[in-house]
Amino acid sequence: MPSQMGDFHVNGRMMRYSLFAPRLYNLCVANGFEPGRIMPSRAFCSDENQGYPIILMAKHFGIFPFDHGRVGGIVSTFRHGPHAHHGKDLVIVQASHVGYDPETGRFGTYRRPRMDGEPHTTSCGKIGAVMEWYQGEYAFARDHIAFARMDGQAVVVIDNRLLDAGREEGLFLNLDRFIAATAEGQRPDPCRVFSTARAYPVHSDLAARLPESVFQSDRRKPMGDRLTADLFGFRRRIEEAVEGHDQLEHNLSQSMPHIVTSPHSALAAAQANTQIEFDRTYRSILLDPAYQGRNLAFVSGINIDISRHQGQLFPLTKFVPWAAYFQTRQGERRVLEQDDLLAALNAQSAENPDQIELDGAISEMEKMPEVMIEVDA
């Protein structure tokens, strides 16, 4: 996993939501939270495939969770105060989400059962929309950087657009890693000037990473997937308002070279967003007076939405924990990193004696006497 993702691992760390929800409840009770007084909150995307986790949170915490989320899995930290007023003890679960198609092994798509033909579409759609511009810039660069041998010299041919340092936005190459410098340490003049590109002597370090076959003739061979994250960055105008329209893009922007070069870019984007949102929300919790002196658990991770099979009503959603923050009303505070959080959850029983039976609860409501409401004219 790219260095920006740190120690965020997926393999061996995921669990079904039907196990995660009761274990989280039991972990909170084990930390002194009072059954019947816990107010959960979720910070999920608005996608319909996030409904199953919400149902399970309601089942195990005994109440429909408060809504802390904005599209893309962004936490609305401005809702801390209202959340705090709805319960004695407090839980927040934040999760970016990513679709998964078990038939193809692809991340980033989800079968839509309510559409004709049940097509697979992007999931998370918001993350996919943010990534589209960056992926387009990367695709252009992959196809417009090439290698060849010209006049007996190994060269890199770079499109003029990618050489234009005056652009306000776009993909910008780390040109000192592509072009061999002169003895004085300067960028040399081009070996050849073409109508839309220029050729330069290739840097020896880059040449050593490439197969010799790319330098065997004057026929250009595109760089393609050899354009790795360490060789470029992005520049993009992004709205700076906290939790504004571009908060998700702001979160992902620094990791975009790693995201677009990842074999599972949608998963990498969900990981990056979850990491930023945990850190950002953790710091907002520490400063919010509404949460002071309260039992509180904040858990962050990824929801993996596995496309349902025929006859299956809900996705088989799995949760990948990233980190958690626990505080007690006595003033104890601790952060659990991924493996510590996973161990803490796995140590809890998947049986929840306090869970509610939703069918029974709904049936009981239907039997209740009618409450007549009159409004004075």
Report if residue 365 sits inside a domain: no
Q: Based on the fold, state whether residues 207 and 289 are members of the same structural domain.
A: no
- Please report which confidence band the pLDDT of residue 333 belongs to, taking 50, 70 and 90 as the band edges: very high
Q: Based on the fold, state whether residues 97 and 141 are members of the same structural domain.
A: no
Any idea what DSSP says for residue 306? E
Q: Based on the fold, state whether residues 271 and 187 are members of the same structural domain.
A: no
Report if residue 361 sits inside a domain: no
204, 235, 266 - which closes a domain: 235
Q: Based on the fold, state whether residues 204 and 248 are members of the same structural domain.
A: no
pLDDT (tens digit per residue) in 169-197:
999 999 999 999 888 888 899 999 999 99
Counted domains in the chain: 2
Between the two ends of the chain, the Cα-to-Cα distance in Å is: 65
User: Are 92 and 291 within 8 A, CB to CB?
Assistant: no
pLDDT (tens digit per residue) in 102-161:
889 999 998 888 888 888 889 899 999 999 999 999 999 999 999 999 999 999 999 999
What is the domain extent for residue 190?
A: 134-235
Distance of CA 299 to the CA centre of its chain: 15
Q: Based on the fold, state whether residues 158 and 258 are members of the same structural domain.
A: no
CATH at residue 103: 3.40.1050
Across-strand partners of 89?
Answer: 38
Token pair recorded at residue 247:
């908060």
Report if residue 3 sits inside a domain: no
Report if residue 2 sits inside a domain: no
Please state the length of the chain: 377
Distance between CA atoms of residues 28 and 161, nearest Å: 55
Distance between CA atoms of residues 250 and 235, nearest Å: 12
Q: Based on the fold, state whether residues 212 and 264 are members of the same structural domain.
A: no
pLDDT (tens digit per residue) in 8-34:
999 999 999 999 999 999 999 999 999
Task: Indicate whether this model's pTM tops 0.85.
Answer: yes
Report if residue 140 sits inside a domain: yes
User: Are 19 and 346 within 8 A, CB to CB?
Assistant: no
Q: Based on the fold, state whether residues 188 and 99 are members of the same structural domain.
A: no
Report if residue 335 sits inside a domain: yes
Residues whose CB is less than 8 angstroms from the CB of residue 376 and which lie 6 or more positions away in sequence, other chains included:
none
Q: Based on the fold, state whether residues 128 and 244 are members of the same structural domain.
A: yes
Where do the H-state alpha helices sit in the chain?
Answer: 17-30, 51-61, 80-84, 125-144, 160-163, 204-209, 247-253, 256-261, 265-287, 338-346, 358-367
Report if residue 31 sits inside a domain: yes
Q: Based on the fold, state whether residues 15 and 127 are members of the same structural domain.
A: yes
